[in-house]
Amino acid sequence: MSNIVDPLVGQIAARVRTERERRRWTLAQLADASGVSQAMISRIERGESSPTAVVLGKLSAAFQLSVASLLALAEGQQEGPESTAEVRRHDEAAEWRDPDTGYLRRQISGPRFPAEIAEIRLPAGATVPYPAAAFAFVRQVVWVLDGRLTFHDGDHVHELEAGDALELGEPAPRVFSNTTDHECRYVVVLARDARP
């Protein structure tokens, strides 16, 4: 059984509201910081709208959190005591599907691991853009497992095949695009940068 995340809509709603209130921001201030309309933020916070990957990217950038961190916090994953080892079963991993593109994100690493690792399945023809601010506080590697990923890194375009990996540099607007007729599966490895 998969945890494809309709129940996460309410948890994402609570997390966005909590992050906004923790900063003592109004809806208008979060809208200004993120570029997401007040009306959309309000619908997300009330659990009336499932945010797309693009909207989550903008909100996480405004909060100076990665999308992975925002989703992990929404799932209730918190730092806890160290243990010797933790097995994460495939059917226990949290998954989130973008309602707009069908992009599917599965969290691989747990909350105590020093890097965030996620498996992404990008459907044929899907494109997911993120603003530069979504990358301002992180270092990231993209590793293609299956298919072909067209990756726009600012003005540069990289055609990545299965087995190719790309370590990202300075923040830039980025676009993950699958221009083929087949799903593309890739891994994103993300570590928080000490210097924004």
Q: CA quadruple 81, 82, 85, 90: dihedral positive or negative? A: positive
149 within 8 A of 103, measured Cβ to Cβ? no
Better pLDDT: 138 or 177:
177
**Residue 75 DSSP class:** T
pLDDT tens-digit readout, 69-79: 777 665 554 44
- Is this model's pTM higher than 0.85 or not? no
Q: Which of 45, 36, 39 is nearest to 13 (CA)?
A: 45
Q: How many residues does the chain have?
A: 196
List of domains in the chain: 3-74 (1.10.260.40), 92-192 (2.60.120.10)
- Is residue 147 very low, low, confident or very high in pLDDT (cuts 50, 70, 90)? very high
Phi, psi of 173 (to 5 degrees): -60, 135
Highest mean pLDDT: which range of 10-24, 57-71, 93-107, 177-191 = 177-191
**CA 165, chain centre distance (Å):** 18
> Looking at the predicted structure, is the pLDDT value of residue 163 above 90?
yes
pLDDT at 1 (0 to 100): 35
Better pLDDT: 158 or 53:
158
Better pLDDT: 118 or 90:
118
pLDDT at 57 (0 to 100): 83
Average the pLDDT over 16-34 and give the result: 92
> Looking at the predicted structure, is the pLDDT value of residue 2 above 60?
no
